[in-house]
Amino acid sequence: MSGKQKKVLWRIIASVAALVLCEVVTRLFSLPKYAELIIYLVPYLIIGYDILIKAGKGILNRQVFDENFLMAIATVGAMALGEFREGAAVMLFYQIGELFQGIAVGKSRRNISELMDINPDFANIERDGEIVSVDPDEVEIGSEIVIRPGERVPIDGIVTSGSTTIDTAALTGESMPVELSEGAEIKSGSINLTGLIRVRTTKEFCDSTASKILELVESSGMHKSRSEDFISKFARYYTPAVCIGALVLALLVPLVRMLILSMPPEWGDWVQRALTFLVISCPCALVISIPLSFFAGIGGASSRGVLIKGSNYLETLSKAIYVVMDKTGTVTQGVFEVVGVHHNRIEEKQLLEYAALAECGSTHPIAKSIIKAYGQEPDPARVTELTEYSGRGVTAEIDGKRLAVGNERLMEMIGVGYKHCHHEGTVVHIAIDNEYAGHILIADIIKPTSKAAALELRASGVEKLIMLTGDTKAAAEPIAREIGADEVYGGLMPEDKVKKTEELLKVKKKGSSLVFVGDGLNDAPVLSLADVGIAMGALGSDAAIEAADIVLMDDDPKKIALALRISKKCMRIVYENIFFAIGVKLVCLALGAAGIANMWLAIFADVGVMVIAVLNAIRALRIK
Amino acid sequence: MKKIYKIDVDCANCANKMEAAANDTPGVKKAVVNFMALKMRVEFEDGADAASVMEDVKKNCRKVESDCEIFI
């Protein structure tokens, strides 16, 4: 609680005590009206003096629909009608509601900022052999900083000495620690867990990952959603409209009764109904709960590694029915891996070992994937007479055996018969002592979570999954089948992807949206063309963060489904709050006009609804 | 030119009113108030002097909500 709030709390306690005392006194003694007014003024003024002052200022500034002004009129009116208890109590409840709202909003504001508190406020540099802490803003690019275990990485850079494990949960939402050693890139915002490392900075503090993320999330509230615009417009008309309604009740109805219907005017009764209207006319419950829901949704998402650049994108994402995915790097890992060893005459492991040894000098991605599948560092000392045939492969002598590792053309060159592979991918044939020994199949493999992600997307209401790729359709089809994509388009140049997306945008239902998911490297035009562009694995890639509307910090496709679920939950809460708050207010207005609802119910319509709406909004923070 | 200012205000509707008041201030091209982050982003008209425009923005905001603060 802030100092301001504590003061209000004390005033509330004092006012409650005074009000109870007033009740006791008026029950025990029968006082004249003016004396009752005087004693009830004590709790009323304790709790309401600031509202009255603000209302006075509002009149001077011609702000008649200011809520302080409305509360002042309503309670002063009630006092004037002799409803002293109501007048004081309404002011009291109003203040309790405001206090609660302040505390709730402050708390969720703090919670959410804590989630995003990933920016350390110091960096360690070495000066004359001593480690000193400095403001990270002052560290220049290329300086060497020291990060001790338990500290947060302040600036992006490259590890120059030491090795450690780091926790990137704050950035990616992934709690699995990552191991780093010399030469590895390190992102600010992650936590150094085990070892002392030295890092040469490659960016300035303000351009580092953590600063970028913070900036992005903090400015997300500036892109307002349609629901927010609707509510602020609604509030702009609602309050004046209800006030006019109150005026009609107070003046017009009694006049009509008196002059046209020749009934008694009952001024007091109608004025009281009008005052009830004024209490209900405060728009705060509506206005607070909507941005709070979005803020909580965006905050909750960012703690899970999903950065949403504005509440408008959250709103659009929730209506997604088409999800268009790029294949390489999104559905698949975008790196080559050995997916099979076929027709091998010797043991699989042995074949991989030979192939890895033969390829040990190469940096080609294919060679790397074979060495990775072998799982050990090949010992180049075992390899002699290594000859490379460009575009074909290599031959070498290993452990006294003559090895040939390469494509069909290499096999043809050395005159060895080979077997074709029926699977899609790159095939590496191996011959030992001029005899065919089998082949290794290398392909871009699907991410382990792609299929689950596709299922989750469907469960969240996605009607169509479409896969686009620059690869051949033949290469893409098995992957599309595996994840259960409805449509797949292969052989697309970047401009073809734009065209395809435009076509899809034309056929989709009105009011629904199309989401494009890519790795953000070369699909920036499509990212911005789609209703919502999601870039994944974008950690540290400024271009992707710039082009996308939603950024997934790691490359797990399940995060797409998570983002969708977050958006749906958040929008459900937003609509619940809109309908609930407006609904209760309208019902209370109707009851108030009919004379059934009194000021007590009116204050519930104002404060109670707001409390419930705020509590509901905070639910958006927690997503399974 | 765009600038972001920290603000302090108690209620969400008041924040909306501040936004409207800021937008009605000469020299302001577009102002957006983010109540949850307590920030105001102001885009100024070309050639406007940010410091003096912000003084007017503050004055106008005080008119609609006496209990607000903009940290210029």
Report the pLDDT value the prediction gives residue B2, as an integer from 0 to 100: 79
Residues pairing with A131 in the sheet: A126
pLDDT 10s digits, A170-227? 777 666 788 888 888 888 888 888 889 999 999 888 888 887 777 777 777 778 888 8
3-state secondary structure of A212: helix
For chains A and B, CB pairs below 8 A equal 64
Q: Helices (DSSP H) in A248-322: which residue ranges?
A: 253-259, 267-280, 284-303, 311-317
Query: Nearest C-alpha of chain A: how many angstroms from B41?
Result: 8
DSSP 8-class letter at A305 = T
- pLDDT of B57 above 90: yes
DSSP 8-class letter at A63 = -
* Residue A275: closest CA among A607, A610, A583, A598: A598
For chain A, give the number of residues. 624
Q: Are A466 and A487 in contact (CB under 8 A)?
A: yes
Which residue of B11, B32, B63 is in closest CB contact with A284?
A: B11
Q: Do B11 and A101 touch (CB under 8 A)?
A: yes
Which residue of A54, A291, A294 is in closest CB contact with B66?
A: A54
DSSP 8-class letter at B46 = T
Q: Please give the residue range of the domain that contains residue B28.
A: 2-71
> What is the rounded distance in angstroms from the CA atom of residue A397 to the CA atom of residue A612?
77
Report the pLDDT value the prediction gives residue A115, as an integer from 0 to 100: 64
User: What CATH number is attached to the domain comprising B34?
Assistant: 3.30.70.100
User: What are the residue boundaries of the structural domains of chain A, listed by start?
Assistant: 334-446
> What is the rounded distance in angstroms from the CA atom of residue A478 to the CA atom of residue A113?
44
Q: Token match 């991918």: residue?
A: A425
Q: Do A63 and B63 touch (CB under 8 A)?
A: yes
pLDDT 10s digits, A26-72? 888 888 888 888 999 999 999 999 889 988 888 888 777 778 888 88
pLDDT 10s digits, B36-50? 778 888 999 988 888
User: With a threshold of 0.80, does the pTM exceed it?
Assistant: no
Mean pLDDT of A573-584: 91
A178-180 vs A383-389, strand pairing mode: unpaired
> What is the rounded distance in angstroms from the CA atom of residue A153 to the CA atom of residue A166?
9
CATH T-level fold of A334-446 = Calcium-transporting ATPase, cytoplasmic domain N (3.40.1110)
Structure tokens at A173: 């939402």
What are the DSSP calls for A35-53, one per residue?
Answer: HHHHHHHHHHHHHHHHHHH
Query: Nearest C-alpha of chain A: how many angstroms from B65?
Result: 8
- pLDDT of A425 above 80: no
Domain count, chain B: 1
Report the pLDDT value the prediction gives residue A561, as an integer from 0 to 100: 93
CB atoms within 10 A of CB A554: 18
> What is the rounded distance in angstroms from the CA atom of residue A37 to the CA atom of residue A384?
107
DSSP 8-class letter at A250 = I
Q: Do A98 and B10 touch (CB under 8 A)?
A: yes
Exposed (0-12), middle (13-18) or buried (19+): which is A497, by Cβ within 10 Å?
A: buried
- pLDDT of A319 above 70: yes
Q: Do B36 and A291 touch (CB under 8 A)?
A: yes
